[in-house]
Structure 1
Amino acid sequence: MTNPPETGTEPLTQPVTRPVSPWNIANVLTVLRLLVVPLFVVCLFSGPGWRYTALVVFLLASLTDQLDGWLARRYGLITDFGKIADPIADKALIGAALVALSLLSELPWWVTVAILVREAGVTALRVAVIRHGVIPASYGGKVKTVLQIAAIALFILPGVPGLLRWVLLGAALAVTVVTGVDYVIRAVRLRAVAEKARGE
């Protein structure tokens, strides 16, 4: 009995999928962003002389959001842990800044409450549908985060005209609301697709 001729199209080996450890450089940066939040708050409450230090800490922590995302995509380090932890780290940094500025009477509480309610709602939504799948951060969510960071930075930085601060903050609030609605729609669709696949 002869073997069938080789066509040259059969794969010699099966591709090996290497598991990605949740403790990779991208996720470590995300965790570090969480750990630096208390340092930022301490600097912000330490008096006028520490405002620039607080601003530098805030901006450096914010930059890690862009860096860890780039590393995860560039080197294939995307994990479910990162998809969940990254937006939580963003919310912790933004939330701490908003609450601190409101406690210092430099930002109205209604702004802080509006943003925090949206962020808490989105986080709760992610957890509620996690058995159906993970909702990754959207492009709109990233734009929202950048606008919030820029607006907060202007409130931290002394001497910035109030009009400039509020124009940027208004844009951040608008995108915050729109992307919040978008997350609700995506969560509903994700649940519907998952239930349909299971025949529920």
Structure 2
Amino acid sequence: MSAAPSEPAEGGTEVPPPRPVAQPEPTPVPTLNVANLLTLSRLVLVPLFIAALFAGDGTETFWRATATALFAVASFTDQVDGWVARKYGLITDFGKIADPIADKALIGAALVGLSVLGELAWWVTIVIAVREIGVTLLRFWVIRHGVIPASRGGKAKTMAQIAAITVYLLPLPASANFVGWALMGLALVLTVVTGVDYLVRALKLRALGDRAGTTS
């Protein structure tokens, strides 16, 4: 059924249809916002954490507790900055790239530090480091085609790594070592699985971008 014509006004003149209301353009999100500042603060805490970890030959209870506290605070900012960015619409391309880099800097510093102190096997640190560096390089490899946000698996991997490292950092008795081993084993599995998943997603994004470029 066709729409009824507009009723003519007095004198036979048709009333013009109402003009569409222009939608306001979305306000651009500033790069320097609370969420991104929290991410940058995590990077600032990394050297402080390393200094505390190696103070007193890495064996003094006070400094190990201090290093653990700094690591916990830095890890907490990872949860807060993402929540703030989503809740208040502060998600930026800078944050999507800087957030995982800050995570890798913190996790990498902790793993290398523990391995230098002889408390964590170097092969564990190398496996995780290769995955994290590889993912970072993949991000830059596909950046002109788009940004791949962290997946749920990636977040679970990070949480498992944080939990395992925290247990290793705490000045606990030797009888509690199995807890650290179990958590680190879980972290290793998630690290490898999510690394493969990210590689697949990056290859798909790159292929779609190349295909779009050839057809344009």
Question: What's the TM-score once normalised by structure 1's chain length?
Answer: 0.94
State the 1:2 CA deviation. 4.1
Distance 2:153 2:177 in 1: 26
Match of 1:118 among 107, 120, 131: 131
Q: Identify which of 29, 36, 44 aligns with 1:35.
A: 44
Indicate the residue corresponding to 1:97 in structure 2.
110
Q: Which residue of 1 aligns with 2:201?
A: 186
Q: Which residue of structure 1 aligns with residue 24 of structure 2?
A: 15
Q: How far apart, in 2, do the equivalents of 1:22 and 1:197 lie?
A: 29
2-side partners of 1:108 and 1:5: how far apart?
Answer: 75
* Distance in 2 separating the partners of 1:132 and 1:52: 44
The 5-angstrom pairing of residues 20-99 of structure 1 reads 20-47=29-56, 48=60, 49-99=62-112
Runs of 4+ in structure 1 displaced over 3 angstroms?
Answer: none
- Unpaired stretches in structure 2, ≥5 consecutive residues: 1-12
For 2:102 and 2:17, the matched residues in 1 are separated by 57
Secondary structure of the 1:45 match is helix
Query: Residue 199 of structure 2 aligns to which amino acid in structure 1?
Result: V
**Residue-pair matches, total:** 197
What does residue 164 of structure 1 align with? 179
Which amino acid letter does the alignment assign opposite residue 166 of structure 1? W
d(CA) in 1 for partners of 2:142 and 2:181? 35
**CA–CA separation in structure 2 for the residues paired with 1:3 and 1:34:** 63
In 2, Cα distance between equivalents of 1:87 and 1:115: 14
Residue 195 of structure 1 and its aligned partner are, at CA, apart by: 1.8
Counterpart residue number, 1:4: 16
How far 1:196 moved relative to its partner? 2.0
Report the CA distance between 1:135 and its aligned residue. 1.1
1:129 corresponds, among 127, 142, 145, to 142
Q: CA shift at 1:13, angstroms?
A: 2.9
Q: Aligned equivalents of 1:135 and 1:192: distance in 2?
A: 14
Q: CA deviation at 1:94?
A: 0.2
Encode CA deviations 1:139-183: one digit per residue, 9 max, x unaligned.
111000000000000000112511111011000000000000000
SS in 2 for 1:98: helix
For 2:4, the equivalent position in structure 1 comes to none
% identical aligned pairs: 61
C-alpha deviation, 1:11, in angstroms: 4.5
Q: Distance in 1 between matches of 2:14 and 2:87?
A: 47
User: In the alignment, what sits opposite 1:109?
Assistant: 122
Question: Rg: which structure is higher?
Answer: 2
With structure 2 as the length reference, what TM-score do the two structures score? 0.88
- The alpha-carbon deviation at position 122 of structure 1 amounts to 0.3
How far apart are residue 15 of structure 1 and its match? 2.8
Q: Return 5+ residue gaps in structure 1 as ranges.
A: none
AA at the equivalent of 2:90: L
Q: Which amino acid aligns with 2:170?
A: L
Q: What's 1:150 paired with?
A: 163
